[in-house]
Amino acid sequence: METEYYHQALIDLLTLFLSLKVENKTKGKHQKQICQVVLDHFEEQYTAELGDKWTSVRDVLTCPSCWQYAILLNKFSQSAELENTLRVEGYYPAFQGTLPYLPRSLKCYISRTPRRFPAQKHQTGKLKEYYLLNAASVLPVLALEVKDGEDVLDLCAAPGGKSITILQCAYPGQFLCNEYDDLRSRWLKQTMESFIPDPLVNLITVSKLDGRQIGDFKPELYDKVLVDAPCSNDRSWLFSSDTQQAKLRLIQRKELSSLQFQLLSKIFLVDIAKMISELLSSSRNVHRMYIFFFCCCFFLFNL
Q: Which parts are annotated binding residues?
A: 156-162, 179, 210, 228
Binding residues for S-adenosyl-L-methionine: 156-162, 179, 210, 228
Q: Rounded distance, CA 70 to CA 111, Å? A: 8
301 touches 233 (CB < 8 A):
no
SS (H, E, C) 81-144: HHHHHHHHCCEEECCCCCCCCCCCCCCEEEECCCCCCCCCCCECCECCCEEEECHHHHHHHHHH
Work out the number of other CB atoms within 10 angstroms of the CB of residue 30. Answer: 6
Q: Rounded distance, CA 264 to CA 156, Å? A: 12
Residue 32, Ramachandran bin (φ over 0: left; ψ between -120 and 50: alpha; else beta): beta
153 touches 176 (CB < 8 A):
yes
Picking from 137, 124, 42, 153, the residue whose alpha carbon sits closest to that of residue 94 is: 137
Give the three-state DSSP class for 177: strand
The neighbouring-strand residues paired with 109 are 71, 93
The neighbouring-strand residues paired with 294 are 228
272 touches 225 (CB < 8 A):
no
